[in-house]
Amino acid sequence: MKKQLAAICLASICSMILPTMALGAVKVNVVNDDSSPVPVYSIDDKQPFQWQEMNVGPDGGGSASLAGFSVPVDSRLVIEYASGNVFCATGEAVGFEVWTTSGGVFARHRLPIISLGASGGYQTTYLANQSLILNADSGTDVTVYSVCNGTLGVMHAAISGYLISN
């Protein structure tokens, strides 16, 4: 009985180990020629980046708040985290977005929002935060946008990540 149990255990262990060992023999061929080079970045090229804007109100009496910055001309920005608060009336339709241009294409990235209740003299504080990976081309604008449909609101916004030299 012990020999049978030992044989079953050995067979189980081999069935788990042998396929894993066989996977290690897979060969990969990476082509790195002038027509399609593989991008390589040195960790030394990463420069920590952080930006924040507080108490941004709507422009022109509307219900949307905008804040932002330009990516340095000699660098590309990788955004790893975006967060913010939007303060407005309870029941308002609220939005929070980060706008970037990457590879020459403009995109609006919407972040999920949760309600935190009353704060700062406003009926409701909404929180938006997200770990992400967004790229922004050198020399382009990064904009954080929030909206409280129907009322004037105030926004706090923050972005962190790193710059890579071109």
Please report where in the chains the tokens 């022109």 appear, as a residue: 60
Give tens-digit pLDDT for 108-161: 999 999 988 877 677 888 899 999 999 999 999 999 999 887 666 788 999 999
Angle value at C-alpha 152, between 147 and 157, nearest 5 degrees: 50
Domain assignment present for 125? yes
Domain that holds residue 95: 45-165
Query: What is the total count of domains within the chain?
Result: 1
Domain assignment present for 140? yes
- Residues with Cβ < 8 Å from 6, sequence gap 6 or more? none
Instruction: Give the CATH number for residue 115.
Output: 2.60.120.1390
Q: What's this model's pTM, rounded to 2 decimal places?
A: 0.70
